[in-house]
Structure 1
Amino acid sequence: MDHQVQPHESREWDVRTGMGPVRVTSPVPRETWVRVLEADPAAMVFHLPEWLDCLCTVGGWKDAGRLYRTDEGRELVLPMVCRPARPHLLAVRASLPPGWGTGGILAPGGVRPHEVDLVLADLVAERALRTRLRPSFDAASAWPGPMPAFVSVPRTVHVLDLDGGMDAIWSKRWSANTRRHMRVAESRSEEAGLIIETGNSPRLVERFYDLYLRWLDRLARERHVPPAVMRRRGKRMEPLAKFQAVAAALPGACRVRVATTETGPVAAMITLLHGEVGVYWRGYSDKETAGRLRANYLLHLRAIEEACEVGCRYYEMGESGGIASLKQFKARLGAKEWPLTEYRLEREPLTRLQSRMDIVRGAMEHWISGRGTEGSR
């Protein structure tokens, strides 16, 4: 399946800044994009052109990336997508959309603070309905703190430092308790005949997705929500086509790991490897069986080993959504909290409205949960 998105007509214009004239081109020529990406040490798999192609193919977005050529001779690339609208003031832009990782600005040697200011000023001048910007953790220090024109949303990702390889991780970053978990996982997996398959084949993607659907069913039971409703919502948020597209388009970067016993798959995860960063992207499991075998620990052990082998400096484990048990699990694996800021430029108070809707939805789920509990007595 070919995921290459045909670029729409290129535009060029000039932006006047306090640092001299800047030439802007959109969308970004692919050869320039690749050149800049390869020169930025903070670049992640989410910044690849192939990743944006998957996003556009599956999510229905359009390439709205921008190339900035500054008076200093620097080239800055902002991977970005949009949902165009008429009038233009209703357009929605993102770098990148929720569920598709981090975006931000790429530059040779890493983006500089005054270059971030330049790009932000350009985006403010256009005033789309909403523009969402979320830089990668390793580039966050170049981005400003809260800004008057933007809604600033604090985020925290968990990152394991891979410096020194597995020897340093095992001896310095993992506690005695974590090392014990790893030994127990290897021992129990051997006793249970657990097999870990790694690759990016359609079969492994389908097995991963089957565990995701089973996870949704368990979530539905815990929240006393009809399984069909939970599955419909889950499939809309995370369609199978999304994972199929990524696995097919990025065979060198995408790793699907599935842990299987004689009864079938019990845990699965997807990691993404590019440059200096390995990313734990998604993971689901059969809670009871995987917990007893500590299969999730074993999957992460294999993923971290591979990230070290290919030369990654970091293993980024994403956000934890405020879930204490998930934060504790990542902390046990040696991951440290890394704060960053998401920036939202909004013509209308969409973030405030979304927060209120989340409160209402949470209240409704709590009410449904209570009704379900009463009915089961």
Structure 2
Amino acid sequence: MKAWLLKDFGLDNLVLDEAATPEPKAGELLVKVGAVSLNFRDKAIVDGIYEPHLVPKPLIPVSDAAGTVVAVGDGVTRFKVGDRVNSHLYSRWLDGEPGPNEPDYCFGSPLPGGLAEYMIIHEDSAVRAPDTMSDEEASTLPIAALTAWYSLVDYGQLQAGQTVLVQGTGGVSIFAVQLATALGAKVIVTSSRDENLEAVKKLGAVAGINYRTFPRWEEEVLKLTDGKGVDLLLDVAGGDGLNQSIAATKAAGRIAQIGFLTGQTTKLSLMPLIFRQTNIRGIAVAPRSSFDRMNAFLNQHAIRPVLDQVYSFEEAPQAYEHLARGAFGKVVITVS
């Protein structure tokens, strides 16, 4: 089969090559990949800044895929040939709390990912793709949509009428706007681009704050919430900005720490954290059971992913470059 292979760190070392087509073992599905979507994690793996000690070489990258089952191993009962399925990043995290070694079983590193014509997914890990979505649309769900869903619902316990702040307008953030709006919450979005803030208002956000125009954006959040702060904040930036996130969140509010776009370390001021009694939880996607619940919600509310651009299989490096520049919604690669 044709596959993109990461032979060393750096985008120049991502090479389109031939690889053996895998064969499904007991309990496994052979999936003909229709499309994959890119996440910041995928770029960080190629750049060598995401758990580099876990990255095998060569590696077929990209965790998030949608495709069609074309063969099954012995004993498979959950799916049959012809079914459309999604990959699920944490392939062994099925329900409940995560185990201590979930990162050891992630697609796109260290397990082979979906940037190839075929991939193996265990039947227990696979998720039925929504019938209403194309492969390109469904490929955006495994990390971006599910991270937003888990942050809002499983962790955030977001209720209608509450207020949530979402940082940025990338994949996770756009899904968060759509999902939180469907849940009846009020959504505030921060971005460096006024045009993106106007676009998210059309998706349901009630307010937008340009953090370059207002570097102390947390003060603007307090103005919008009568001085209280938001009930829930989805932090995708990380770095020292976490202190501003704490200031923007109500007393005993929740922060879902999702990303590290501005840095993997932070100098945290403890007194505001203590006095505001803020809850901060690191979010690393979700179990498969949450994915199943989310897909039912997406169908119920007719939520469709926002695709920034779709690239061909041969244009995979250009898709990574697009992600590095920034995206409104998701960057997708059609495989077959």
TM-score (structure 1 length as normaliser): 0.27
TM-score (structure 2 length as normaliser): 0.29
